[in-house]
Structure 1
Amino acid sequence: MLLLCAVLWLADRFDPLPLPKDDMARVVLAQDGTPLWRFADGNGVWRYPIRIDQVSPYYIEALLGYEDRWFYQHPGINPLAIARAAWQNLRDGQIVSGGSTLSMQVARLLDPHPRSLRGKLRQVWRTAQLEWHLSKDEILTLYLNRAPFGGTLEGVAAASWAYLGKSPKSLGRAEAALLAVLPQAPSRLRPDRHPQRAQAARDKILQRLGQFQIWPQAEIDDALQESVWLAPREEPSLAPLLARRLNTANSPAVIETTVDASLQRRLEEMLLGWRARLPERTSAAVVVVEHDTMAVQAYLGSLDLEDTQRFGHVDMVQAVRSPGSTLKPFLYAMALDEGLIHSESLLQDVPRHSSDYRPGNFSQGFSGPVSASQALARSLNLPVVQLMEVYGPKRFTAELRSAGVPLLLPRNAEPNLALILGGVGTRLEHVVSGFSAFARQGKVAQLRFQPQQVLQEKPLMSPGAAWIVRRILSGQRRPDIDPRAQLVERAPLAWKTGTSYGFRDAWAVGVSSRYLIGVWIGRPDGTPVPGQFGLASATPLLLQVHDVLNHRDRQNRKPELLNPQPEEVGVAAICWPLGQELAREDDNCRRLRFAWTLNGTVPPTLTMDTTFSSALQPLVWLNQQGLRVAKDCPGAQARRIALWPAALEPWLPLAEQRRSRLAAPDPGCPPALLVTGEPIQIVGVNQGDRLQRAAGQVNALSLKFSAQGSGAKQWWYLNGSPLLSTASGESFDQVFAQTGIYQLSVLDAAGQTGTVQFSVVD
């Protein structure tokens, strides 16, 4: 006996059981277990590994009742079953019954062998090894995952999804019986090719289960009435680029995700409908995230994986692109926290010049005085550059990176003013992650693609700053005229667009009651696409995705999440141009506005030189006649006069310009320093002129321009775009080949500006 045991032990050591190893077959699942994508093994077979508790009890009962009723009692080989099968085969003169147990079938699956005596002995040996090394449940699990079901399908889960379009957990009796019989002859009984054969085999197993009283006869009669119904045969084909991203060498056979399969399918179908609306070779990417959990609900990395003309294999969720203006909300929130601005702070949409950097507005032209909320809502470039000069690009970049929103600069490059307008690289997933701060009380949370990922978040801004910026982006940029009015806590969709230089990238990022939505449109190879910009291209897609989400939430009766006003957010009545609280009757309160504030802080107006300057409120002395005099003149009384920043002079009405706000000097006792504040005057055309070519003139209209009132170098802008630079007093010629409205602006090295608007007509 000991000798026999030693021989068997040696045989087991030298001829070990060939248990299945990782053959790189993978299945990627949605949050409800629906297969999204599959990666076949080297033989093209795909399977969906499951446990016994993930299969319907009906299937286990049908399988054991038909194949091996004594599975849990016999030692792997059932002598009674073999004897019965041998007697039936001899009696009928043909093979009508097999005596293989489930363990023996698993042995054949693991080590295929010919149907010969030698092969049968090898099967018995492998069966014995199975019973020695594995438990009954482990053997049954191997069968559930390796049994053939026709074509490239292995395992009951893959067959259930492929043939029936449902989870094996939800199989009914008739469906369980059908799948239990298919491995007996998977090619001959394939229900998609031979439905009548499959139904006959299913009915046979149902009747056998009734004979053995495994199921009640009434239930079997009902099951027999069901025809074999198959779902349309589809391979898992959702979220392919996410599946590729998560499929690594260390991935398990089952890759779980947080994706909502029905939403993913709906958005993929919708995005395919956009193909005709987009230019050739243009792709798109969409990410939907539930911001309460940061679980990614939908991941569309390209327009169509199979579209090689549109580079469908390139995952634009991870691609590094220029973010355009999508970074602006972060700077406004940080500036609020720093006490640099409140929501109605006076900013300057005027020409700016910093070294060789001359930014302009996307919409061309300049608006002059604008509020911080207006500048953000309209995505104006010049005011945000003014703000970046104060806050500092290095600090801005470092704080975003620390919170989990990295900005990628060229090698050895330092952060500069251009980054706030898109002069930097980032990814769609990082931008969407950053916008979570506006829904999560100022904390940036990383996207979660899989349920086992731990939620990670870091603070970027205060809850109050996040709330204010979110209100501005949702179209509620100003408090009610009555500060005591009740605020609605349901914030509508807040969204921001972005367009990179040369129309290469169109962005739209939204924050709704429950979701973060990120949209990118462009060419993956970086080729410019004229006419494709955030508002025109990406925003319609964003709004369509938002409508889909709203409709689903209403159908599922999901309540809308509220966005209550934080305690530190208040409302203040402030006055321009100083940007601070003044009595309404105060003559220095030139324009009254209601602003969102943080912790009661009401910072003064930022001047063009990026400092808080008292130059906006100079101290002057007036005599009894109201004339400006020196402070030591008889009867001189000190008074502070609120002035607008000098750079805004060309955009102010005459009553607000410095020459109107400052009293005339007294010739008898003039002040020591005359504050004139005269703007630069553009010579060559007058404000509001309508210029027309002379009768019979064929060539384009040519005009000569110069500037007076400036003793420094000047930079010229036409419709907000840099034109050229001139020395003091130097003139230049400009040709106007097309009709239209033009805005010509000039900026000198001292920060003085001038502007004139005119039109050219036929």
Structure 2
Amino acid sequence: MKRAAKVLLPLLVLAVLGWGLDQLFPVPPPPQYSPIVLAADGSVLHAFLNPTQKWRMKTELREITPALRNTIIEKEDRYFYYHFGVNPLAILKAAGRNLTGTGRTTGASTITMQVARLLEPKERTVGNKLLEMLRAVQLEAHYSKAEILQLYLNLVPYGGNIEGVKSAALLYFQQPPDYLSLAQTVTLAIIPNRPRGLVLGRHNEAIRQERNRWLRRFGQQGLFPKQDIEDALLEPLDAQRHAAPALAPHLARRLVRQFPGQASVASTLQRGKQAKAEDLTRNYVRRLHELGISNAAVLVINNRTRAVEAYVGSADFRDAANKGQNDGVQAIRSPGSTLKPFLYALALDKGLVTPKLLLPDVPTNFGGYQPENFDKRCNGEIPLDRALAYSLNIPAVRTLNELGVPVFTAKLREAGFRTVARSAPRLGLSTILGGCGATLEELTNLYVTLANGGGYAPLRFARRNEELRIAQEARAGNRKQTQPTKPIQNSQLFSPAAAFLITDILAQLTRPDLPVGYETSIRLPKIAWKTGTSYGRRDAWSIGYNKEYTIGVWVGNFSGQGSPALTGSDIATPLLFDLFNTLAYNSPNNWFQPPATLDFRLVCAESGRPPGENCPNQLIDYFLPGVSPSLRCQHQKEVLLSADGQYVYCRACAPAAGYRRELYPNLLPEVASFKEAQGLPYRRLPAHNPACQLVRGGREKAPSITSPLANTEYVLNKGEQQQLLLSCATDNEVRQVSWYVNDQFLRTAAATERVFFRPPAGTLKISCADDHGRNTNIQVVVSEM
């Protein structure tokens, strides 16, 4: 017992002493690595200098191939796996050679000792050598042999600011360490001993000779098969320093900021798609410079997984003059008309509209807001599907007015529109025409939602660890193919039926890149797409999708300067189709199928509603059973007409006999007024029976004053004889109206006539009375300057 105590006590003291020294002098912190962003297959997409301005990319354990491991150990430390950080026999042998002056002078450094020196560089003295030995023992206590070898391979110098095997492999051979040939592996193994004398690209012939010397030596030792050695000896060495991988610079910076401190971040980007998208965008924008357009941004998304497969933040990241480092994917811009499909999808789900329902397209005052169509023209009435296909503004604003701005903006907030969420209380009807802020990321994901039947989920920019491992194994040849990623869970923004109807409308547009030869066109991907142009022609958008991909394109200037040529259809759409034709050429072209919740019905061609009694012209339209409006068509109404056809009777004033029944168009007053003003032919009702007393003074069909706008201030120039326009919309029975200013008669005019007058300064009461005695009043303020 006493003997055991005598043995254990010193050991215990040594253990306590060792623990205390370990606490007082902890192991050096791990090296600072160069952050790298990986593509979906695990290859390096983008690399950054580390904080000390060195290229030191972390070599992972899986990248240390048997050939690399065996070469390093055989060359540097044959007994690496058998010692505790210090090789006593090697030290004694080296000391003997150094004292006697015989043989090669060596320091007997093990790989672990070299790691200690590389972690804490010091002047080479006997005292520092002893400290290295102590550190080596400490490192062996903290790390496994594999981790120590990994540290060594990450710290070995290769000249200049290049450190580590992975950095050297990528910068000189443009391959990761696990993709190097035997000759390349041996090349990288011999350079760290002479990083200044053997510089790749400068001393290639000397390096080749040294490489071959070691290859022959390894062959003699039987380290590698004879045939592999012979092949490696014949391999030429034409290494040159290349630029570090620099694809997807905007997303790379975004991910590095999102995951600080990580040596590598696995993105969802596909290397081939990313390179193609960058090239196409850069070359396309070069052709636009003469039009005063300097930048573009692109996003390519896999619809099934919501993974971003290409991310182009600007046409040229290095173009400082045009703010190339700005990220156009995240920039908040006006979305123009790109939100219209989602408005109509919500309106379909609310039962407000169907694809063939006719919407009024006439100049309209929505409580002081008067939108205009892009071409400044109106159509009177137009089916919803054509209103969306032609991107008409007035029908869209009318639909938003009926749906409600809060309902629409709530859905946009649910879809991740951050700027809309912040400014929702201030948003109005102009939201649907680009009067809110949005990013390419938000808009493109909203179109992915259309492609996914109304199901929304956030975009994915980074890969999960398991996905990355599978991709890396597939890339290394250990798996035949990457396992499919599970689709992510969605929240439903709108129904699959509404999503299909909008897709069906957007897919009817004529492709701008047709016609082409039949043999080529059958291989082009079928897509649905929508364009948008912001106010002042500052932003051009084009976003398209099919079953597989959604691609979003923004074109414009980061300075916010507009260009007369900048429109979504003319400028952004050609790039969209270049991208689709390149990235999805000869794709299966599987297309969307109508869901079971959708059905067909006959509707009247004159209104788009289910046929009434007088609807001879009918067509087929989609509808949502139990949701879509079921009100029967009333595009014609029966009227009681005097025998001579000059007057119309109401039920109250119709005589007992001497009248006939006829059908007349039942138009909205604003549509009738528009047709009258434009000289469009339509069958107008005769005037109402002037002897009828019942409707006199009634306000149910009083004129609607469309100009000036109620409760608006007008500032007129004193030096100019500026005038105000008076106009109104009336029931189609009205023939003339009377205008009053501050209760003083101004003049009588035809119902559709535009009246101008010079107003006095101050608050004005403007009144309009029709020939049925119905009256409307508004107030405006006129100022002079």
TM-score range, shorter chain: 0.7 to 0.9
What letter corresponds to residue 608 of structure 2 in structure 1?
G
Contact 1:113–1:123 at 8 Å: present in 2 too? no
TM-score (norm 1): 0.80
CA distance in 1, matches of 2:101, 2:380: 101
CA distance in 1, matches of 2:769, 2:309: 52
Contact 1:103–1:130 at 8 Å: present in 2 too? yes
The residue number in structure 2 matching 1:72 is 81
Aligned counterpart in structure 2 of residue 528 of structure 1, from 541, 562, 576: 562
Structure 1 residues 21-36: aligned runs within 5 Å: 23=32, 25-36=34-45
CA distance in 1, matches of 2:592, 2:555: 30
Deviation at 1:37, TM superposition (A): 2.3
Structure 1 residues 355-434: aligned runs within 5 Å: 355-408=367-420, 413-434=425-446
Structure 1 residues 604-619: aligned runs within 5 Å: 616-618=635-637
Aligned counterpart in structure 2 of residue 12 of structure 1, from 6, 22, 25: 22
Q: Is it true that 1:314 corresponds to 2:341 in the alignment? A: no
Q: Is it true that 1:467 corresponds to 2:500 in the alignment? A: yes
CA distance in 1, matches of 2:296, 2:425: 29
1:729–1:542 distance in 2 versus 1, CA, 3 Å: closer
The residue number in structure 2 matching 1:686 is none
The residue number in structure 1 matching 2:339 is 327
Aligned counterpart in structure 1 of residue 265 of structure 2, from 235, 245, 255: 255
1:95–1:452 distance in 2 versus 1, CA, 3 Å: same
CA distance in 2, matches of 1:713, 1:174: 97
Structure 1 residues 491-502: aligned runs within 5 Å: 492-502=526-536
Deviation at 1:646, TM superposition (A): 3.5
Aligned counterpart in structure 2 of residue 519 of structure 1, from 553, 558, 577: 553
The residue number in structure 2 matching 1:596 is 622
Deviation at 1:442, TM superposition (A): 0.5
Give CA-to-partner distance per residue, 1:96-134, whole Å, 9 cap, x none. 666322111111111222222112112111111111221
Give CA-to-partner distance per residue, 1:280-337, whole Å, 9 cap, x none. 5732111111111111111111122221211112112111111110100000111111
- Structure 1 stretch 325-334 or stretch 32-41: which is displaced more? 32-41
What letter corresponds to residue 730 of structure 1 in structure 2?
V
Deviation at 1:651, TM superposition (A): 4.4
What percentage of aligned pairs have identical amino acids? 35
- SS at 1:571 equivalent: strand
Contact 1:422–1:501 at 8 Å: present in 2 too? yes
What letter corresponds to residue 468 of structure 1 in structure 2?
L
What letter corresponds to residue 498 of structure 1 in structure 2?
G
The residue number in structure 2 matching 1:657 is 682
CA distance in 1, matches of 2:769, 2:267: 57
1:460–1:5 distance in 2 versus 1, CA, 3 Å: closer
The residue number in structure 1 matching 2:306 is 294
What letter corresponds to residue 270 of structure 1 in structure 2?
L
Contact 2:304–2:548 at 8 Å: present in 1 too? yes
- SS at 2:602 equivalent: strand
The residue number in structure 2 matching 1:269 is 279
Deviation at 1:598, TM superposition (A): 2.0
- SS at 1:370 equivalent: strand
Q: Is it true that 1:510 corresponds to 2:540 in the alignment? A: no
The residue number in structure 2 matching 1:548 is 582
Contact 1:28–1:254 at 8 Å: present in 2 too? yes
CA distance in 2, matches of 1:31, 1:412: 37
What letter corresponds to residue 53 of structure 1 in structure 2?
R
Q: Is it true that 1:458 corresponds to 2:488 in the alignment? A: no
Contact 2:293–2:563 at 8 Å: present in 1 too? no
CA distance in 2, matches of 1:323, 1:529: 16
Aligned counterpart in structure 1 of residue 755 of structure 2, from 694, 719, 730: 730
Deviation at 1:163, TM superposition (A): 1.3
- SS at 1:448 equivalent: coil
CA distance in 1, matches of 2:52, 2:579: 39
Q: Over aligned residues, Cα RMSD in angstroms?
A: 4.1
Contact 1:77–1:104 at 8 Å: present in 2 too? yes
Contact 1:630–1:671 at 8 Å: present in 2 too? no
The residue number in structure 2 matching 1:159 is 168
The residue number in structure 2 matching 1:577 is 606
The residue number in structure 2 matching 1:442 is 454
The residue number in structure 2 matching 1:643 is 666
- Structure 1 stretch 496-505 or stretch 174-183: which is displaced more? 174-183
Structure 1 residues 151-300: aligned runs within 5 Å: 151-230=160-239, 233-248=242-257, 250-273=260-283, 274-278=285-289, 279-280=291-292, 282-300=294-312
CA distance in 1, matches of 2:580, 2:328: 20
Contact 1:33–1:167 at 8 Å: present in 2 too? no
Contact 2:664–2:683 at 8 Å: present in 1 too? no
TM-score (norm 2): 0.77
Structure 1 residues 707-726: aligned runs within 5 Å: 709-711=736-738
What letter corresponds to residue 346 of structure 2 in structure 1?
M
CA distance in 1, matches of 2:255, 2:740: 57
1:275–1:403 distance in 2 versus 1, CA, 3 Å: same
Give CA-to-partner distance per residue, 1:544-571, whole Å, 9 cap, x none. 11112123xx4xxx64444222112223
What letter corresponds to residue 275 of structure 1 in structure 2?
R
CA distance in 1, matches of 2:579, 2:199: 40
- Structure 1 stretch 405-414 or stretch 508-517: which is displaced more? 405-414
What letter corresponds to residue 316 of structure 1 in structure 2?
G
- SS at 1:509 equivalent: strand
CA distance in 2, matches of 1:219, 1:35: 28
Unaligned runs of 5+ in 2: 1-9, 466-486, 511-521, 707-722, 728-734, 742-750, 759-767, 776-785
- SS at 1:153 equivalent: coil
Give CA-to-partner distance per residue, 1:351-395, whole Å, 9 cap, x none. 011232111011121122211010101101011111111001111
Contact 2:332–2:438 at 8 Å: present in 1 too? yes
- Structure 1 stretch 127-136 or stretch 522-531: which is displaced more? 522-531
CA distance in 2, matches of 1:186, 1:710: 96
What letter corresponds to residue 391 of structure 2 in structure 1?
S
Contact 1:578–1:642 at 8 Å: present in 2 too? no
Contact 2:361–2:382 at 8 Å: present in 1 too? yes
Q: Is it true that 1:305 corresponds to 2:334 in the alignment? A: no
CA distance in 2, matches of 1:368, 1:204: 88
Contact 2:348–2:628 at 8 Å: present in 1 too? no
1:502–1:456 distance in 2 versus 1, CA, 3 Å: farther
Deviation at 1:577, TM superposition (A): 3.1
1:218–1:82 distance in 2 versus 1, CA, 3 Å: farther
1:412–1:492 distance in 2 versus 1, CA, 3 Å: closer
CA distance in 1, matches of 2:246, 2:600: 52
Runs of 4+ in structure 1 off by over 6 angstroms are: 87-92, 612-615, 622-628, 635-640, 652-656, 663-667, 669-675, 677-680, 703-708, 726-729, 748-752
1:728–1:619 distance in 2 versus 1, CA, 3 Å: closer
Deviation at 1:258, TM superposition (A): 0.7
What letter corresponds to residue 277 of structure 1 in structure 2?
L
What letter corresponds to residue 600 of structure 2 in structure 1?
V
Deviation at 1:204, TM superposition (A): 2.4
CA distance in 2, matches of 1:497, 1:446: 23
1:597–1:456 distance in 2 versus 1, CA, 3 Å: same
CA distance in 1, matches of 2:236, 2:335: 56
1:410–1:432 distance in 2 versus 1, CA, 3 Å: same
Contact 2:525–2:581 at 8 Å: present in 1 too? no
